[in-house]
Amino acid sequence: MLKEPWKQSKIITWSQLLLDNYRNLLGYELIERKGNSEEQAKALFFSPFAVASHGTEADPIYNYGNQVILDLWERNWDEFVQTPSRLSAEPILQEERQKILDKTTTQGYLKNYQCVRISRNGQRYKIEDITILNLQDDQGNYCGQAATFSNWSVLN
């Protein structure tokens, strides 16, 4: 089991991509970017708000989740990065989730989204003020989507 994912070169690079895209699309930084790339990757991983992303697979798989996401979704890193992102939504809400992701694809980003998500063990959360954004590499190629939020509450 990977204990310190933020130290992996692939995750350091991905963290920079997340941070760069956030700044480029929204016009401000997601975190204070001080120190080197590894220090920024660690700061993002341990930020007090949730950050997650998935790739471009036909059924997108999570490829990043910070500690808040891992705790909420009740998964360790290795489990999380093998999980289709659609599984964070209850089956009845997966179509709505896909419509929001499609809308984000055409707009570049979406702010103030809210939804209900579910952990691996069935804990439901109401999440508010979500920002979803498209991710592009340095050549402008689409490489996935990310979401960040800091407001959630446990549902019974």
138: domain CATH number is: 3.30.450.20
Residue for token digits 């992996």?
Answer: 8
Residue for token digits 């289709």?
Answer: 84
Output the furthest CA–CA distance in the chain (Å, rounded). 45
pLDDT in tens, 98-141: 777 777 777 788 898 888 888 999 999 999 999 999 999 999 99
Number of structural domains (the chain) is: 1
Integer CA distances (angstroms), 90 to 97, 109, 141, in order: 10, 23, 30
pLDDT in tens, 31-69: 999 999 999 999 999 999 999 999 999 999 999 999 999
Q: What does the alpha-carbon distance between residue 92 and residue 85 come to, in Å, rounded to a whole number?
A: 15
Q: Which domain holds residue 21?
A: 5-155
